[in-house]
Amino acid sequence: MPFDLKYINDRISSDSKGFVAECESDYHDKIKLSAQEIAANINKSHLVLLSGPSGSGKTTTAQKITEALAVLGVRAHSVPLDNYFLTRDNLNNIPLTPEGTPDLESPLYIDWSLLNQHLDDLDHGRDIVVPHFSFVTQSRDEAKAKHLRLEKDEIVVFEGIHALNSLITDTNPGAFRLYISARSDTYDNGELVFKGTWIRLVRRVIRDDLFRGADPMATISMWANVRRGEKAYISPFKDTANLKLDTSMPYEVAAMRDIAAEILSKAPNGAERFEELTWLLRSLRLFGDLDSTLIPADSVLREFIGGGTYKY
């Protein structure tokens, strides 16, 4: 659903706090709907597969779904698919990007054999040891691995960009499939002024700068390959989802405007994708100023700006 710039700015001017509360309430309604449909599927499968492109808020959404399921009397667990990345010593036949570098977006980075075995074990009440992947060492940290076994009234949510790939859904046809993305464009008098994909880019730039020590231009330079990976490996499977959710909120660009502008303004003149970056910065300034302290601690936006109640 597209957003309207004038409506956003009017609401910021008249009732910022109420505007934020309404947007967050709409998101929570989507979570409740997801939990209800997932709970209704438990007789078919104890598995939930949650996919979405980078910057969608998969981790927060997965944790919120487990909370909403608990309200319905269903105990749920959340497991990142990142833990099933192949270790450095087991990377074979990884495809290359058009630039000749390893394609980090490829599903071939996933240990599908182990993952599908674990999914089958969990769905049949057997115990597994969930690995923990260390991005620092590119290996599995055995000390942080966790045992998991599902009781007959329990569910597990596996979240990651490749969660709806046919390599996983074909062998788990009963699993509930959920696709999320922040995809709402913003218009002003019929003119597109802020693309939905920019919402995810802004989220990622802020998160990478604040918590991953990544230069904003490094994030932006990788964005083209991230988007290529989405089109090649994620989008083709989104229509197989039982349910699709938009995690973007009308107020968020205004709330992240200042911090995003500060980070992106560091880019030197002539940097890669500088023309698009200039357009993005100009578009950010079209939004009114909304105090970021109004963002609730349990908001999906806290996954990117910090200060939230969830652990990432």
| C-alpha distance from residue 187 to each of 11, 202, 237, 283 (Å) | 15, 18, 28, 11
Per-residue pLDDT at 147: 97
**Confidence class for position 273, pLDDT limits 50, 70, 90:** confident
Contact assessment for residue 253 and residue 199, using Cβ atoms and an 8 Å cutoff? yes
| CA–CA separation, 12 and 288 (whole Å) | 7
Per-residue pLDDT at 32: 98
The predicted-structure confidence for 98-151, as pLDDT tens digits, reads as follows 777 778 789 998 999 999 999 999 999 999 999 999 887 888 999 999 999 999
- CA triplet 104, 161, 135: central angle to 5 degrees? 50
Q: Write phi, then psi, for 214 (nearest 5 degrees).
A: -100, 130
Q: How many other C-beta atoms lie within 10 A of the C-beta of residue 169?
A: 18
Averaged pLDDT, 44-52: 97
The secondary structure of 167-200 as a DSSP string is: HHHTT-TTSEEEEEE----EEETTEEEE-HHHHH
Across the chain, mean pLDDT equals: 93
| C-alpha distance from residue 91 to each of 83, 108, 118 (Å) | 15, 9, 20
Smallest Cα–Cα separation from 69: which of 178, 182, 184? 178
Contact assessment for residue 274 and residue 225, using Cβ atoms and an 8 Å cutoff? no
**Confidence class for position 311, pLDDT limits 50, 70, 90:** confident
pLDDT at 91 over 90: no
Per-residue pLDDT at 198: 95
| CA–CA separation, 46 and 61 (whole Å) | 18
Residue with tokens 């996954």: 303
CATH assignment of 3-305? 3.40.50.300
pLDDT at 97 over 90: no
| CA–CA separation, 52 and 229 (whole Å) | 12
| CA–CA separation, 131 and 139 (whole Å) | 10
Alpha helices in the chain (DSSP H): 5-40, 58-71, 112-123, 166-169, 196-211, 216-229, 252-264, 274-284, 302-305
| CA–CA separation, 232 and 28 (whole Å) | 30
The radius of gyration computed from the CA coordinates of the chain, to the nearest angstrom, equals 20
Range scoring the smallest mean pLDDT among 191-200, 262-271, 282-291:
262-271
Predicted model pTM: 0.93
**Confidence class for position 221, pLDDT limits 50, 70, 90:** confident
Averaged pLDDT, 284-310: 96
Residue with tokens 């999320």: 180
| C-alpha distance from residue 220 to each of 182, 228, 280 (Å) | 18, 13, 12
**Confidence class for position 220, pLDDT limits 50, 70, 90:** confident
Per-residue pLDDT at 277: 84
Residue 265 CA, chain-centre distance (Å), reads 25
Domain extents for the chain? 3-305
